[in-house]
Amino acid sequence: MSAPADPPAELLDLRASIDNIDAALVYLLAERFRCTQRVGHLKAQQGLPPADPDREAQQIARLRALAESADLDPAFAEKFLAFVVEEVIRHHRAIADQEG
Ligand SMILES: C=C(O[C@@H]1C=C(C(=O)O)C=C[C@H]1O)C(=O)O
């Protein structure tokens, strides 16, 4: 079934909010990666490993609790964090290879 030619006003309104939220997520992620890139350089300088499983365990516990209180599926919150952190660690390994 294709999308209607003239979508209802409520759908358009909701989609406008979704677009704003997606834009905010992109800016928030960009800012997070700006921080994690700096962490990657600090770790390479100090000879610290790219991944920190203890820190990740704390973040998972915190985000799962926040998700529950926000009525968001905690399993989804954990998967999302893992997806982002995996990319961060990939960047940290690349920085360590270049600078270490
Ligand atoms: C950013 C760090 O490096 C890695 C990435 C993390 C993250 O993206 O939050 C957390 C822990 C580390 O595995 C860090 O150690 O703080």
Name all domains of the chain by residue range, CATH numbers in brackets.
9-99 (1.20.59.10)
| Residue of 89, 90, 91, 95 best suited for mutating to test ligand 1, as the one with most atoms within 8 Å of CB | 89
The answer to whether the complex's ipTM is over 0.95 is yes
pLDDT in the model for residue 29: 98
Q: Judge if the beta carbon of residue 81 lies within 6 A of ligand 1.
A: no
Give distance in angstroms: CA of 77 to centre of ligand 1: 16
Question: How far is residue 91's CA from residue 55's CA, in Å, rounded to a whole number?
Answer: 17
Distances from the Cα of 75 to the Cαs of 43, 47, 49, 53, 100, in angstroms?
29, 33, 27, 18, 35
pLDDT in the model for residue 4: 81
Q: Which atom of ligand 1 approaches the CA of 43 most closely?
A: 15
Q: Which atom of ligand 1 approaches the CA of 53 most closely?
A: 13
Q: pLDDT tens-digit profile of 2-35?
A: 888 888 999 999 999 999 999 999 999 999 999 9
